[in-house]
């Protein structure tokens, strides 16, 4: 393509062939490249350790220090090319530590704005020393070139490439258009409603005269014992639980024939006889249920405090 341009007598410095991609990511201005800059011999990548699970999966680990390539090719005359070159040198000189455009366009508070105010002010300061470019003279100069060249260029580029040729008027590198981010507003209506249903009322039918009191005291069993409660509402008129209406059906066990319901014991009767005379205590035989008790008070009458002699064995 460069040889084709030279055949039309156009100097190489007047009509550049510019593609997108190839330069390092960490430099904002190097987002465009000439054809020679697309050759990246140091971007060979490295092999990933281990094995792959499919023959269609590459083990090539591509180096990510370059920008992604695009199919855009620019072979055109543009006054913006001169402006971008000068801006690049001025911004680079004024910002030795580097220029990051994200510091000017990455503020989320600008979502509702139609322009990047800080970036526009930065561009205006750097463009203050520029002289006004005469676009009409530039276009008049291009008329002396044979425009058949641009038609032939499109025949030489790959079919997938998007080629821009001729005269191109485009914004400079510090100009960024911006559209307001729409912020939707909405309301969620709240609906409410009601529907009438059947409402019924009832009574005891006049069976209980109004002069008769249906109040009574009911006893309820609790953990701490029985608790009495006075029932003085109108519920007895409907459930029939009046005072004195409880019928006692039986007071005995409902299973009187069960001999194992409780244990039976033999009644034992004992008679006790107390003796103070040992001879009488030791005489005779014991009858069934008879208990003999011998009592003596020698301990009480012994003033010396000595242990009394037990009675002699018969």
Q: Which two tokens stand for residue 229?
A: 């409660």
Per-residue pLDDT tens, the chain, 314 aa: give them. 888 888 888 887 778 888 776 655 555 555 555 555 566 655 454 555 666 566 666 666 665 666 667 788 888 888 888 888 888 888 888 888 878 888 888 788 888 888 898 888 988 888 887 777 677 887 887 777 778 888 899 888 888 888 988 888 888 888 888 888 888 888 888 888 888 887 787 777 777 887 778 888 888 888 888 889 888 887 887 777 777 777 777 777 777 777 777 777 777 788 888 888 888 888 878 877 788 888 776 554 444 444 455 555 54
DSSP alpha helices (H): ranges in 34-186? 79-94, 102-105, 117-126, 135-142, 148-156
At residue 25, the pLDDT reads 53
- Distance, CA of 93 to CA of 97 (rounded, Å): 10
At residue 289, the pLDDT reads 79
Taking each helix axis as running N to C, give the angle between helix 79-94 and helix 117-126, from 0 to 180 degrees, rounded to the nearest 10: 90
φ, ψ (nearest 5 deg) of residue 220 = -120, 140
pTM of the prediction?
0.44
Question: Residue 278, Cβ neighbours under 10 Å: how many?
Answer: 14
Coil, helix or strand at residue 38: helix
Where on the phi/psi map is residue 53: left (φ > 0), alpha (ψ -120 to 50), or beta?
alpha
Closest by alpha carbon to 67, among 32, 16, 36?
Answer: 32
At residue 224, the pLDDT reads 82
Q: DSSP letter string over 162-199?
A: EEEEEE-----TT-----PPP-----------------
- Distance, CA of 83 to CA of 262 (rounded, Å): 117
- By the 8 A CB rule, do 165 and 76 touch? yes
Closest by alpha carbon to 100, among 27, 171, 173, 33?
Answer: 27
Q: Which two tokens stand for residue 232?
A: 């003085």
Q: Which two tokens stand for residue 141?
A: 């100069």
Q: Which two tokens stand for residue 55?
A: 């023959």
* Helix %, strand %, coil % of the chain (to 5): 25, 15, 60
């Amino acid at each position: 393509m460069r040889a084709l341009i030279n055949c039309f007598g156009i100097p190489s410095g007047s009509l550049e062939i510019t593609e997108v991609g190839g330069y390092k990511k960490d430099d904002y201005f190097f987002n465009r490249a000439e054809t020679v800059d697309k050759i990246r011999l140091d971007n060979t990548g490295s092999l990933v350790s281990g094995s792959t699970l499919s023959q269609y999966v590459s083990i090539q680990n591509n180096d990510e220090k370059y920008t992604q390539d695009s199919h855009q090719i620019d072979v055109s005359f543009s006054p913006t090319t001169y402006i971008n070159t000068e801006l690049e040198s001025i911004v680079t000189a004024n910002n030795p530590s580097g220029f990051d455009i994200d510091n000017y366009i990455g503020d989320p508070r600008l979502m509702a704005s139609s322009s990047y105010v800080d970036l526009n002010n930065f561009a205006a300061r750097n463009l203050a020393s520029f002289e006004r470019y005469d676009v009409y003279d530039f276009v008049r100069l291009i008329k002396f070139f044979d425009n058949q060249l641009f038609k032939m260029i499109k025949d030489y580029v790959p079919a997938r490439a998007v080629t821009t040729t001729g005269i191109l008027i485009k914004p400079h590198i510090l100009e960024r258009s911006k559209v307001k981010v729409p912020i939707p507003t909405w309301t969620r209506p709240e609906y409410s409603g009601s529907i009438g249903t059947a409402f019924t009322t009832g009574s005891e039918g006049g069976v209980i005269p109004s002069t008769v009191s249906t109040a009574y005291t009911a006893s309820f069993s609790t953990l701490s014992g029985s608790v009495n409660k006075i029932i003085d509402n109108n519920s007895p008129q409907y459930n029939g639980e009046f005072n004195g209406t409880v019928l006692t059906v039986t007071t005995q066990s409902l299973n009187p024939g069960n001999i194992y319901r409780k244990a039976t014991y033999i009644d034992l009767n004992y008679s006790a006889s107390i003796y103070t005379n040992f001879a009488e205590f030791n005489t005779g035989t014991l009858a069934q249920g008879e208990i003999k008790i011998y009592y003596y008070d020698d301990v009480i009458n012994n003033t010396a405090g000595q242990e009394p002699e037990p009675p002699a064995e018969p």
